[in-house]
Amino acid sequence: MSERIAFHPTAGAIGAEVTGVDLREPLDDASFERLRDGLVRHQVLFFRDQPIDPAAHLAFARRFGEPVPHPAYPHVDGFPAINVLESTPGHPTKIDTWHTDMTFLAEPPLGSILRVTVQPPSGGDTMFASLSAAWDGLSGRMQRYLDGLHAWHSFAHGFRHSLAEPGGWERLGDAVRANPPVRHPVVRTHPHDGRRCLFVNRLFTTHLEGVREAESEAVLRFLFEHAETAEFACRFRWSRDAIAFWDNRSTLHRPVNDYFPAHRRLERITIAGDRPR
Ligand SMILES: [Fe+2]
């Protein structure tokens, strides 16, 4: 089956649509390796017309590693590994920032597999950006400055708006205490292909280590804006039964929240990763 799998690039730097695979079926080893290599190379894979159920979603994710439940999101009944991301008129989503998922963990996820279950009539695209393209796009002088630097990442910083709401600390206080800030290299080396990737993001990165506050703020602001350069990014238009699978070691993503007050619901499995080096 693996020879039928094809990758059709979405944009110059990142993204590919995948054809020739049916995710309702178990993946043979050759197909798994082809998808894993395609994920690392294209950094985010898009699948269309894949009407899978939660059990098939979980089986697909497990080929790549162990699921990690998210401390702040509800899950699908009977599937604690499948988080529900839902936006309704009463509870619109609050995440509108470019980010890499869960970098507040010492071992941030390898990736996430997201599938849409309720699609708004229009809007609700997701954008992705390549952190290897971001690194490659820096001058040699800036790369030398950043190489060897570390940055701090914080759950409480990422969820500060939710924490400030009534009942926020009651809901998220345990997660804040269980997830103290962690330190990661500013540039990481991808464990699979050795590409170097900028590894800071607006949502969770608070400051650079060993640098004065004003310098840290200015450098991070530059890096965040640089990583969001249009030429490093692609944009995915969801369709019924579409799936996005991103490599969380080498990408940023952000939702485009232009569909309120329409209802949107997604199911996500996040896969355990390794310590950035
Ligand atoms: Fe995310």
The per-residue pLDDT for range 67-87, each reduced to its tens digit, is 998 877 899 999 999 999 999
Is 42 tagged catalytic?
Answer: no
Q: Report the C-alpha gap between 165 and 91 in whole angstroms.
A: 13
**145 contact partners, CB below 8 Å, separation of at least 6:** none
pLDDT at 69: 83
Is 207 tagged catalytic?
Answer: no
Catalytic residue among 34, 70, 101, 207: 101
Tens of pLDDT, residue by residue over 17-72, are 999 999 999 999 999 999 999 999 999 999 999 999 999 999 999 999 999 988 77
Ligand 1 centroid vs 265 CA: distance in angstroms? 14
Ligand 1 centroid vs 241 CA: distance in angstroms? 19
φ, ψ (nearest 5 deg) of residue 216: -60, -45
- Please state, for a pLDDT cut of 90, what percent of the chain lies above it: 94
Catalytic residue among 190, 253, 254, 264: 253
Ligand 1 centroid vs 71 CA: distance in angstroms? 13
Tens of pLDDT, residue by residue over 137-154, are 999 999 999 999 999 999
Class of domain 2-271: alpha beta
**Mean pLDDT over the full length of the chain:** 96
Catalytic residue among 99, 188, 195, 264: 99
Tens of pLDDT, residue by residue over 240-254, are 999 999 999 999 999
CA-CA distances (angstroms) from residue 92 to 44, 141, 201, 259?
26, 42, 22, 10
What would the two tokens of residue 16 be?
Answer: 């590919």
Ligand 1 centroid vs 4 CA: distance in angstroms? 30
Is 253 tagged catalytic?
Answer: yes
CA R_g for the chain: 18
pLDDT band at 2; cut points 50, 70, 90: confident
Ligand 1 centroid vs 111 CA: distance in angstroms? 10
- Alpha carbon 259 to its chain centroid, in Å, reads 21
What would the two tokens of residue 77 be?
Answer: 């009944």
φ, ψ (nearest 5 deg) of residue 238: -70, 155
For the segment 249-269, the average pLDDT, to the nearest whole number, is 96
Ligand 1 centroid vs 247 CA: distance in angstroms? 12
Ligand 1 centroid vs 3 CA: distance in angstroms? 31
Q: Is the full-model pTM beyond 0.85?
A: yes
Is 101 tagged catalytic?
Answer: yes
pLDDT at 1: 66
Query: For the chain, what are the domain ranges?
Result: 2-271
Which residues, by Cβ under 5 Å, contact ligand 1, an ion? 101
CA-CA distances (angstroms) from residue 60 to 82, 126, 213?
12, 21, 44
Ligand 1 centroid vs 96 CA: distance in angstroms? 10
Tens of pLDDT, residue by residue over 166-181, are 999 999 999 999 999 9
